[in-house]
Amino acid sequence: MPLRSALTRQIGQIQDELLVLGSMVEHAALAAVDALKRRDAKAAKEIFEEDQQINEKRFAIENAILILMATQQPMAHDLRQLAAMLEVNTELERIGDYAKGIAKITMLLGDADIPVPVQEIDQMAQLAVSMLHRALGAFVAEDVPTALEIPKEDDKVDELYNVVYRLVVQTMISNPETIDLANLLMWVAHNLERMADRVTNICERTVFCATGELFEVNGMDEDDLNV
């Protein structure tokens, strides 16, 4: 039996749990946008409440990683992998929060009469979730070329964000009493745009885990104005 097979196995188990968390988050994001499309406040409320499970899973994973760090004294690649998993874990939970935020907005909109740029928002969600799904695959496989490619798609998300932004501004101008509600739609687009940014962070961690190099991929800047 190779040395440290127990540690290798435990790291693998945590990675599996991370993928489970990833699929919970992907599901939450798509379901939240779907509820918005259908203006289904009841479904939105369920998604909002299910975020609790995502949080619990996140804490369980964090705890498992900390226990391995404390008891196994991981070094080099093992250490980078555990540190990267800790980071990815946090990013996933935040993405879950964005989904929860969208669900909350759907609840606040109720059946108010306001046009929602459904098509663009849906495209943003599909793209962000697809990026997330592939980024997690690349993370587990330590596939550096893929991890470097995925963040480039962030530009498409930004473009869609700009389209939604303009559509919502038009709604505000033509119908000033909708400003409060329209502002909520702005937040939906913002959340989806931030989801894609967090996928970029996951890709950065993939490169770090595989190579030990820490750098920002694709020059994505948190302070970009997106307008």
Partner 1 sequence: MESKSDAFVRIATQTRTTSASPSVVDYAIEMRNVNVYYGAFRAVKDVNLQIEARKITAIIGPSGCGKSTVIRCFNRMNELIPGARLTGEVLFHGKNIYDPDVDPVQVRRLIGMVFQKPNPFPKSIYENIAWGARINGYRGNMDELVEESLRQAALWDEVKDDLHKNALALSGGQQQRLCIARTIAVKPEIILMDEPCSALDPIATLKIEDLMRELARDYTIIIVTHNMQQAARVSDYTAFFTVDEDRAGVMVEYGPTNQIFTRPRDRRTEDYITGRFG
Residues in touch with partner 1 (CB under 8 A): 2-4, 7, 73-80, 211-212
> Of the two residues 79 and 163, which places its CB atom closer to partner 1 in the complex?
79
> Of the two residues 52 and 211, which places its CB atom closer to partner 1 in the complex?
211
Rounded to a whole number of angstroms, the minimum distance from the CB of residue 58 to partner 1 is 25
Q: What is the DSSP letter of 143?
A: -
- Asked whether the CA dihedral 118, 138, 54, 66 is positive or negative, the reply is negative
Place of tokens 């943003």: 124
Rounded to a whole number of angstroms, the minimum distance from the CB of residue 75 to partner 1 is 4
CA distances, 11 to each of 25, 83, 86, 88 (Å): 21, 11, 12, 14
Count Cβ atoms below 10 Å from residue 59 Cβ, excluding itself.
12
Rounded to a whole number of angstroms, the minimum distance from the CB of residue 83 to partner 1 is 9
> Of the two residues 84 and 168, which places its CB atom closer to partner 1 in the complex?
84
- What six digits make up the tokens of 11? 């790291």
CA distances, 148 to each of 24, 143, 205 (Å): 24, 9, 11
Rounded to a whole number of angstroms, the minimum distance from the CB of residue 6 to partner 1 is 10
Rounded to a whole number of angstroms, the minimum distance from the CB of residue 125 to partner 1 is 37
Rounded to a whole number of angstroms, the minimum distance from the CB of residue 69 to partner 1 is 12
> Of the two residues 83 and 163, which places its CB atom closer to partner 1 in the complex?
83
> Of the two residues 6 and 173, which places its CB atom closer to partner 1 in the complex?
6
CA distances, 204 to each of 27, 149, 156, 195, 218 (Å): 23, 11, 19, 15, 10
> Of the two residues 37 and 77, which places its CB atom closer to partner 1 in the complex?
77
Count Cβ atoms below 10 Å from residue 211 Cβ, excluding itself.
13
- Provide the residue type at 3 as one letter: L
Q: What span, in angstroms and rounded, lies between the C-alpha atoms of 34 and 40?
A: 8
